[in-house]
Amino acid sequence: MIRQLRALLGSDINTALLYAVVAAVLQGIAFVLLVPILRALFGNPSDAWPWLGALFVAGIAYGVVFFRGALAGYDVGGGLLRTLHHRLGDHMSVLPLGWFTPARVGEVSTLVSQGVMGVANAPAHLLRPLVSAFVTPATVVLLMALFDWRIALATLATAPLIALSYWWSGRLVERAERGTVIASAQASTRVVEFAQNQPLLRSTGQTDRGWATLDAALAKQRDEGRKLIVKAVPGMVLFAIVVQLAFAAVLLFGTYLAVGGSLSTPDLLALLVLAARFVEPIWMAADLGGALKLSRGALNRVQDVLDSPPLPQPSTPKAPTTDDVTFEDVTFGYNGSAVVKGVSLHVPARSMTALVGPSGSGKTTLTKLAARFFDVDSGSVRVGGVDVREMTTEQLMGQLSLVFQDVYLFDDTIFNNIRLAKPEATDAEVFAAAGAARVDEIIARLPDGWQTRVGEGGTSLSGGERQRVSIARAILKDAPIVVLDEATAALDLENEAAVRDALKALTTDRTLVAIAHRLSTVVNADQVVFLEDGRVTATGRHDELIQRGGRYAEFWKGAR
């Protein structure tokens, strides 16, 4: 873990580590100084003064180093928090867009909040006690040998047993925890789903009876929790017994030496105090085991994200020269099995192509390949005459505007949400784009007009309204090619007309690739591409294809 942290933080962690080691050694020295002090107190009390002075100095030094070490630990923890946020942010900006599935986004949001805090906790709160757990007892044993090598050796002999039982109990807890962690994560997901899907669950009476899926997840969480206790407790009990037995063995050995006369009573007392101190830091480390595992788990999950391969960028990028899109014998699958199979199609500049086909036929996947959410398995996708793999992400995104169904609006004003598409746009340009997408009509009914905030995700707007804001963004961005996933949700008449007008404004003089769900869009298309099971099975204008009959005509008959 230290190696992983060092790779992230460079030498900063070394300073915190050094302070922790020095503090632990000083703590060990302070403990050992109790031996000569007790000896003196039982023999000639005035001899205790120099040792008390040494203890005072060691105590002060320990305090100073501890304080500096704690500050260094917090600094490293804070630095780690910033570094991880930056690294994750930087890395996410170069990951393929296809990486961001809803599940991954959920995972990342938990990771950047709780996970990263857990990792930062390691240098801030765990490093010092863990170092102390090893270094302080080692110092104690070493220095104890100066006073009585036999007791030191006896104490040292218990170390492997203590270490072994610590490792074994840790393994038991770790194994048992795996199930609990998974069950807890699943239960949390179900609770969130339960909250999000109240309308559906209530309308189907599942909130009164109890939603079986949530009940099962909570029952599993409870069972795993019980299993954790049953499996982990024996290890913890064994560890406690071993530590107590080790202490008792040293005590018996010391008493044996004292009875035999080779160890004075004050020495025995002092050494026993030391032996008790020897086990104290180990106890503390055992308590921190759980927190350490959480930190390590979170660090591994951060590392997994950082290790996800970024979208490869070309070494000599080529600038797009035209405004058309071409798929050439494209095959692509998400998990090995192809969902787009040998698709070839050409979308000429400033024309409109409607992708039509049954659910799951690969329409969305095709548009995502054009925007390079993923790289094709074979064949090529050319945007502006250049293979998307031969231009930089900036060049590709400069060519495209993406208008998808799941429009996300930031909790800000509509004006700022539109301006996001082109931060350097003048106010007049933003108003013009809003007007063309008929967003100004939405503004007119909002309580604070242009100043109204739209709520997280744009929840205060309807689906059709959100798509109009998204179209306004695309108009403002003014990229030559538009990739559109038309809203499937039924729109009211007013919204339907407004979206149609907004689209008309967007597509004038632009190339449009649209996943079309409405007949009105399809009849306006210069070319309809009919997809079935990942293959293009018909291409032409809508009326031609209808006249031709066959599966395309059947598809529209079925759709109505």
Ligand X SMILES: Nc1ncnc2c1ncn2[C@@H]1O[C@H](COP(=O)(O)OP(=O)(O)OP(=O)(O)O)[C@@H](O)[C@H]1O
Cβ distance to ligand X smaller for residue 69 or 357: 357
Rounded to the nearest 10°, the torsion over CA 544, 547, 551, 552 is 40
Cβ distance to ligand X smaller for residue 344 or 426: 344
What are the backbone dihedrals phi and psi of residue 12, each rounded to the nearest 5 degrees, phi first?
-55, -40
Cβ distance to ligand X smaller for residue 42 or 99: 99
Q: Indicate the helix (H) or strand (E) that contains 392.
A: none
| CA 18/CA 430 separation, integer angstroms | 56
Asked if residues 179 and 225 have their Cβ atoms less than 8 Å apart, the reply is: no
CB of 25 to ligand X, least distance (A): 54
| CA 251/CA 155 separation, integer angstroms | 10
For 518, the 3-state DSSP assignment is coil
CB of 485 to ligand X, least distance (A): 8
Residues between 77 and 116 with contacts to ligand X, criterion CB under 6 A:
101
CB of 530 to ligand X, least distance (A): 11
Exposure class string for 215-225: b at 16+ Cβ within 10 A, else e: eebbebbeebe
| Most distant CA atoms of the chain, gap in Å | 115
What are the backbone dihedrals phi and psi of residue 38, each rounded to the nearest 5 degrees, phi first?
-65, -40
Name the segment binding ligand X (CB under 6 A); options: 15-23, 261-269, 354-362, 409-417: 354-362
CB of 484 to ligand X, least distance (A): 13
Name the segment binding ligand X (CB under 6 A); options: 102-110, 318-326, 353-361, 422-430: 353-361
Residue entry with tokens 């690294």: 87
Asked if residues 488 and 522 have their Cβ atoms less than 8 Å apart, the reply is: no
User: Hey, what are 182's tokens?
Assistant: 């998974």
Name the segment binding ligand X (CB under 6 A); options: 38-46, 309-317, 331-339, 437-445: 331-339
The site that binds ligand X (CB under 6 A) totals a number of residues, namely 12
Name the segment binding ligand X (CB under 6 A); options: 188-196, 333-341, 447-455, 462-470: 333-341
- Terminus-to-terminus CA distance in the chain, angstroms? 60
Cβ distance to ligand X smaller for residue 77 or 362: 362
Residue among 491, 519, 484 nearest 505 (CA):
484
CB of 488 to ligand X, least distance (A): 8
The residues, ordered by sequence, that sit 6+ positions from 371 with a Cβ below 8 Å of its Cβ are 97, 396, 397, 400, 402, 483
CB of 335 to ligand X, least distance (A): 6
CB of 365 to ligand X, least distance (A): 3
Cβ distance to ligand X smaller for residue 431 or 555: 555
Sheet with strand 400-403: strands edge to edge: 400-403, 481-485, 511-515, 352-356, 527-532, 535-540
CB of 196 to ligand X, least distance (A): 20
Cβ distance to ligand X smaller for residue 102 or 260: 102
Cβ distance to ligand X smaller for residue 272 or 482: 482
Name the segment binding ligand X (CB under 6 A); options: 66-74, 355-363, 388-396, 465-473: 355-363
CB of 159 to ligand X, least distance (A): 52
CB of 339 to ligand X, least distance (A): 4
* Interaction of residue 338 with ligand X, rule CB under 6 A: no
Residues between 356 and 385 with contacts to ligand X, criterion CB under 6 A:
357, 359-365
Rounded to the nearest 10°, the torsion over CA 469, 470, 472, 475 is 180
Cβ distance to ligand X smaller for residue 46 or 359: 359
Bridge partners, residue 340, by sequence: 332
User: Hey, what are 255's tokens?
Assistant: 């008493």
Helix axes 427-436, 463-477, angle to 10 degrees: 130
CB of 360 to ligand X, least distance (A): 4
CB of 381 to ligand X, least distance (A): 14
* Interaction of residue 339 with ligand X, rule CB under 6 A: yes
Residue among 482, 532, 542 nearest 506 (CA):
482
| CA 524/CA 508 separation, integer angstroms | 12
User: Hey, what are 300's tokens?
Assistant: 């591994």
Asked if residues 489 and 459 have their Cβ atoms less than 8 Å apart, the reply is: no
For 375, the 3-state DSSP assignment is coil
Cβ distance to ligand X smaller for residue 316 or 359: 359
Residues between 152 and 191 with contacts to ligand X, criterion CB under 6 A:
none
Name the segment binding ligand X (CB under 6 A); options: 12-20, 34-42, 205-213, 332-340: 332-340
Name the segment binding ligand X (CB under 6 A); options: 151-159, 352-360, 493-501, 518-526: 352-360
Cβ distance to ligand X smaller for residue 97 or 339: 339
Residue type, 90: D
* Interaction of residue 334 with ligand X, rule CB under 6 A: yes
For 505, the 3-state DSSP assignment is helix
CB of 489 to ligand X, least distance (A): 13
CB of 348 to ligand X, least distance (A): 23
Cβ distance to ligand X smaller for residue 356 or 474: 356
Cβ distance to ligand X smaller for residue 177 or 486: 486
Asked if residues 383 and 399 have their Cβ atoms less than 8 Å apart, the reply is: yes
The residues, ordered by sequence, that sit 6+ positions from 196 with a Cβ below 8 Å of its Cβ are none
| CA 75/CA 547 separation, integer angstroms | 73
| CA 297/CA 118 separation, integer angstroms | 9
Please give the residue ranges that form the binding site for ligand X (CB under 6 A). Answer: 101, 334-335, 339, 357, 359-365
